[in-house]
């Protein structure tokens, strides 16, 4: 079995990124690239073979490859991002995935960002956000329920994506910001709540039994460490200014 991660180089135009819930502040693109390179090195250390896509200089959000697709054991689903200007990003990601999976696509009028898709075993939670709509969820049910997946819509308020509010941090353990989602949706799981002073702290990337986690949230990191979760620290402070997070910058999947 092989472990792969698709990444894309940081665009020169990153400072012109889409923003929904954050104010625009200057982004140091060179520093963002250095942080992204270190992020890729962490992926490699955790066993991923990298599939690096080239920079898209005129597509500022293209580094956030997670939003363009999500990959299951049976198929890869190419999204239709909620921001019009990001839809052209999906073509190259679909080509990168084609050797490894059958490809399915979300069609108009559905819109969905991969950041709104949380997969936990056979359950797929989909955030109803400013980027993802009910039509896309209905298409996902038609595409994926025949494969045995269960699709659940989740209302998201106050943040960009579902995975800004909840991610898996261990086998049956979720890290949650309870102000942005109804935690009762996930009552079958063990819940760790973020420290209330760190509102963006619910996003971590679980690879095997290790959690890539931002250094920006030490108080929440302590809660995770106290639970016995192995943390791999990463610094994505420049990409965070573009509403990016740890999961956003890669598409991780396995092959048999």
Give the CATH number of the domain where residue 106 resides: 3.75.10.10
pLDDT of residue 32: 97
The pLDDT, as a whole number, for residue 50 is 98
Catalytic residues: 161, 248
Quick one: pLDDT at residue 15? Answer: 84
Query: What is the per-residue pLDDT for 256?
Result: 76
Residue 80 pLDDT: 98
List, in sequence order, every residue forming a beta bridge with 50; answer none if it has no partner: 5
Residue 171 has a CB neighbour count (10 Å cut-off) of: 11
- Identify the pLDDT of residue 250: 98
The residue segments making up the domain with residue 180 are 2-255
Q: How many CB atoms lie within 10 A of CB 235?
A: 15
pLDDT of the residue at 20? 77
Q: Return the pLDDT at 1.
A: 75
Q: Output the pLDDT for position 18.
A: 81
Q: Which residues of the chain have pLDDT under 50?
A: none
Q: What's the total number of domains in the chain? A: 1
What pLDDT was estimated at residue 25?
85
């Amino acid at each position: 079995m092989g472990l792969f991660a698709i990444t894309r180089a940081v665009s020169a135009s990153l400072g012109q990124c889409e923003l929904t819930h954050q104010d625009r502040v200057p982004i140091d693109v060179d520093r963002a690239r250095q942080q992204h390179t270190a992020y890729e090195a962490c992926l490699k250390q955790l066993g991923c073979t990298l599939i690096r896509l080239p920079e898209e200089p005129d597509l500022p959000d293209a580094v956030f490859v997670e939003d363009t697709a999500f990959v299951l054991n049976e198929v890869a689903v190419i999204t239709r991002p909620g921001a019009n200007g990001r839809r052209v990003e999906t073509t190259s990601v679909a080509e990168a995935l084609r050797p490894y999976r059958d490809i399915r696509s979300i069609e108009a009028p559905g819109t969905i960002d991969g950041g709104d898709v949380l997969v936990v075993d056979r359950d797929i939670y989909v955030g109803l956000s400013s980027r993802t709509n009910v039509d896309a969820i209905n298409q996902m049910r038609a595409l994926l329920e025949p494969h045995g997946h269960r699709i659940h819509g989740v209302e998201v308020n106050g943040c960009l994506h579902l995975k800004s509010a909840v991610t898996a941090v261990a086998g049956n353990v979720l890290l949650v910001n309870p102000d942005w989602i109804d935690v009762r949706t996930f009552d079958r799981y063990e819940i760790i709540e973020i420290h209330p002073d760190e509102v963006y702290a619910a996003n971590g990337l679980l690879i095997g039994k290790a959690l890539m986690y931002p250094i920006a949230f030490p108080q929440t990191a302590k809660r995770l460490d106290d639970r016995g979760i192995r943390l791999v620290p990463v610094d994505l402070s420049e990409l965070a200014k573009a509403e990016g997070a740890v999961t956003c910058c890669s598409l991780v999947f396995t092959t048999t």
